Structures are given as C-alpha cells and as structure tokens.
Chains A and B, each alone.
Chain A
Amino acid sequence: MSAVKRFFDRILLLDLFAGLGLTFKHLFREKVTVQYPEERWEPSNRFRGMFRLDADRCIKCTLCARDCPIDIIYIDWHQEANPETGKKEKVLDRFDIDVQRCMFCGLCEEACPTEPKSIWLTTKTYELATYDRWQNLYVDKHQLADWRVRPAYTDEEIR
C-alpha cells in the first residue's frame, strides 16, 4: 500500500502540490507586520527594557555594580549628616550606566536588596536608537530617574 502511495506521490508530484497549497493558505493569513512609526509594539510585562532608578529607595549598597558581569555601573557616594534628623546618611554622588555595552541581563535588578527594587528594567521601553551614543547611551542618575530625558523619536524626526 505504502509503496503504491509512494509511487503515486512521485508520479503526480503530490508533495509539490502540498507545498503550493500551504503557501496559498498563507496568502490569506493575518499579517504579522507592525507598521512601526504609526503603531508600536507593546512588550510583555517581563520584557527587559531600559533602566529606571529610584534614588530615594536606593540604599547605596553598590551590590548592583558588583553583580554587573561587565562592570558598567559606576556608583559614588559619601556620608553626610541629615540636617533635619542629625543622623549620618549615605548620599548618592554618581550613578552612571554605560548602556552602550549593556546586555540587559537584569542581574543588577536581581541583586538589589530593597523591596520594592530600586533599579528595574521592566519599563517596556525599547526605542534606544540614537545619533550620539556618548550623549544618549551613557546615562546618569537624573536620566535614570526618568530615562525619557531622551524620549523616543517623534514621528517628525523619523521622516
């Protein structure tokens, strides 16, 4: 039976016609293209995008910088007496991330001991293309507080 079937498959080129049928079916399928500047893709909730830093929650432990596998997080701090309470507190001088080399592994977020995390990547942002990487992909704590200091490109800029 199978030999007969194989013979007819070979003579009538059934497999070729099956392939043609498949592509013909795809002709009417829903298209997956996202018309980018007009419509934008919404990433899933666990998508690792650009960083966000909450400097108030941060306890300056530098665990994120130590856990970073390629050492691109630079943190400087000093101790200073709080003028209201008189207690000594750590004050953040510098919190820079060199995003050019970042691989968005999210280990810094995992290392952060505060609850909720002080640094996180689930900001659903992915429009990181820039014209000047040193200006736009080397971010300090102010930019990290709201990375949209350099916002996504507007429609006018893209055209």
Chain B
Amino acid sequence: MPAFLAAIRDAHPLLFDYALSPALKILVLLFAGILPAIAYLTLAERKILGYMQSRVGPNRVGPWGLLQPIADVAKLLVKEDVIPEQSVRWAFILAPCLVVGPALVIFAVIPIGPPAASPTGLNLFIADVNVALLYVIAVATIGVYGLILGGWASNSKFSLMGGLRSAAQMISYEVPQGLALVGPLILAGTLSLVGIVEAQRDAKVWYLFPQFIAFFIYVVSGVAESNRNPFDLPEAESELVAGFHTEYSGMRWALFFLGEYANMIVISAMATTLFLGGWLRPFPSVAWLHFLDFPFLPAGLVGVFWFVAKLTVFLFAYIWFRGTFPRYRFDQLMDLGWKWLIPLALLNLFFTGLVKLLVKG
C-alpha cells in the first residue's frame, strides 16, 4: 500500500474504510476490469463465432483484430445520436441507463478474491453485504425495466413487441432462477457471497456437485436473463428487426450492449461464486493438487486468477450457445420455464432441504 494511503488509513480509519477504499476499488474494478473485459468480450465473441462458422473473424484492426474494440468504441462515440420525435423523450434517455446501471452495481458484492489477501492487505471485494444474494437478485431484475421502458418509449411496433417479450420472458425465468439460488443458500446457511464461498471451502466441495440441478437451472435462466441466444427474444433480429433497441443509435445503443455484456459477466460471476467455489482452486480438499495454489504467488493474485479462469469458461459457454442453438419461440420459453424448470427447481429445493435436515438432525 502506498505510504500516503497508509497514512490516511491510520489517521482516519472510518473515512478510509467507508469512502476512500471502496471508491478506489470501484475505480480500479470498473476501468481496469469490467469495461476492458466487456470491450474484449465483444471481440472474443466475434472471433469465436467466426471460428465456429469456419471464418476468421475480425483481423484487420491491429494484430488478430486486437484493436477492434477500440475502433468500435470510437465509432460509436462519434455517431449521430437519434432520438425519434414521436418517442417519449425522458423514458427513451432513461432506458439504456436502467440497463447498464444495475448490471454494473452488482459487481459491488461479488468477491473476486479472498478477504484481506491482496498484496495491499485490502479485501478483494468492494463490500461483504450479509444479504448479498438478495441484493443481486433484486438489482438484476431492475435491468429488465430498462428493456421494457426502452421498447415502450421508442413508440415503434418492433420495439414495443420486443419490450413486451422481455416482460413475458422475465416472469418465466425469474422464478426458477430464484428457486435455484435457494439450493446453495440452504447448503451454505448464509446470504453473503463471501460466506457462501467460504462454506464451499469448509464443505470441501463445490456446490456444483450436490446442486447440479440448481446449477443447470441457473445457467439456463441466466442465459434468459441476459437476453442471449437461444433466449434473445426481446432482440430477435430476424423477426423484430432489433426488438427493444430498434430505434436506438450511437452511444445509447452501445449502452444497451454494454448492459447485455455486463449482465453476462455478472451472471457468470454469480455462477462461479455460488457453484464453482469463487476464488478457490479446483478440488480445494485434494492435498496433492496444492501446486494449483501457485504457492510462490501472493494468495490474492491466485484467487483472482482462479476466479477469472472460471468466469472465462462461463463466458465461452455463452458464446458457444450463441454459435449453436437457434432461438426459442417465446411460448416455448414460457413452457420451458413454467412446466420444466420450476417443478425441477422445487424438487431440488425439497430434496436439498430434506438432506440438510436429516444430516443436521
């Protein structure tokens, strides 16, 4: 930790703990972590999709197209920002912010590393809230309002249908998703995400294995929540032009996409934390795999490495799904949500609770 920061911490511990340290972490996480990650996620998506279709993807801007995201952002920033005359102006402007804001705010509670383990002695998360899981579910749901609002405010039939589809989609994936999250919750006995990861460490097993049904349900409804293929119904280029963002252009349009990709990262990070043991190395209980902890590196760095590695697997799976599956009809999605996922999630919940009760009592 730089000397002046340590001096401030010693002089004003409250100021440091509740204002300076979170602010610094947010700045670093946002500008060195999430925004570059989103930018290069778009490039990775185009590259991987291209490779899956026997193409090579972008390769003109910089070596292997590595500067493509920068060119894209520069283009989007200088493009004309059209607000349709017939639109509801305030809602039209508010909608993209409603999509991006919540997606970014969720990162506040996601632990990307163990507590008090970074080289500077800081916790590798912004806040360890004791109702973090509830917070995530609550905030993530706000993003859907952005879609519905944007679809309605555009005053265009395609946008409105996209927005309504996103409403229909939400009521079918939110319930199984919430029920799926209760599984790990029962096992861990805490709502704090740090607590859930530590519970997985103490239980010597990732919750992926006892909760594989919940994991499956979470991944499926997570894809639906971030409006990605095969559940990209609100967008649906082939039917609704571009769905809820048909009328958007320039940076406002880019904000919707920023939100979508941030949502992908959030859902992957949540899945990593809840089911894949967050910052823990694979098989934390197997002693001879200790070399995976890279003992010569600081513990915080190793934690971040494993977290990002697991996150990358999920993000690849997202792109993989997009390259493989055709889009569901929205009645099929509602069918899937209500007739399959909810009963499955309830069964999983019942058996998890039963086992927990029997083991305890």
Contact = CB atoms under 8 A, between A and B. Distances in A.
Contacts of B52: 23-24, 26-27
A158 interface: no
Nearest to B326: A19
Contact of A31 (B51, B321, B324, B325): B51
Contacts of B48: 27
A32 B55 CA distance: 6
B320 interface: yes
A95 B56 CA distance: 44
Interface in B37-72: 48, 51-56, 59
Nearest to A16: B325
A18 to B, nearest CB: 10
Interface string A11-37: 000001001101110111111110100
B331 to A, nearest CB: 19
Given A16-B325, A19-B325, A26 B320 contact: no
A26 B53 contact: yes
B323 interface: yes
A38 B132 CA distance: 54
Interface in A27-55: 27-33, 35
Interface in A95-143: none
Given A16-B325, A19-B325, A31 B320 contact: no
A23 B324 CA distance: 6
A65 B51 CA distance: 48
A22 B56 contact: no
B53 to A, nearest CB: 7
A139 to B, nearest CB: 33
Nearest to A19: B324
A62 B299 CA distance: 86
B55 A31 contact: yes
Contacts of A33: 54-56
A32 B54 contact: yes
A27 B55 CA distance: 9
Interface in B201-217: none
Contacts of B323: 23
Contacts of B51: 26-28, 31
A22 B55 contact: no
A19 B48 CA distance: 16
A158 to B, nearest CB: 12
Highest count of chain A CB atoms <10 Å: which of B56, B59, B324, B325: B324
A133 to B, nearest CB: 28
B54 A20 contact: no
Highest count of chain B CB atoms <10 Å: which of A19, A23, A29, A35: A23
Highest count of chain A CB atoms <10 Å: which of B56, B321, B323: B323
Nearest to B53: A26
B325 A26 contact: no
Contacts of A16: 324-325
A25 to B, nearest CB: 9
B55 A20 contact: no
A29 B51 CA distance: 8
Contacts of A35: 59
A21 to B, nearest CB: 9
Interface in B316-338: 320-321, 323-325
A32 B54 CA distance: 6
Given A26-B51, A27-B51, A31-B51, A20 B56 contact: no
B340 to A, nearest CB: 10
Contacts of B59: 35
Nearest to A24: B320
B53 A20 contact: no
Interface of B: 48, 51-56, 59, 320-321, 323-325
Interface of A: 16, 19-20, 22-24, 26-33, 35
Given A23-B324, A30-B54, A31-B54, 17 more contacts: A16-B324, A16-B325, A19-B324, A20-B320, A20-B321, A22-B324, A23-B320, A26-B51, A26-B52, A27-B51, A29-B54, A31-B55, A31-B56, A33-B54, A33-B55, A33-B56, A35-B59
6 contacts: A20-B324, A27-B52, A28-B51, A31-B51, A31-B56, A32-B55
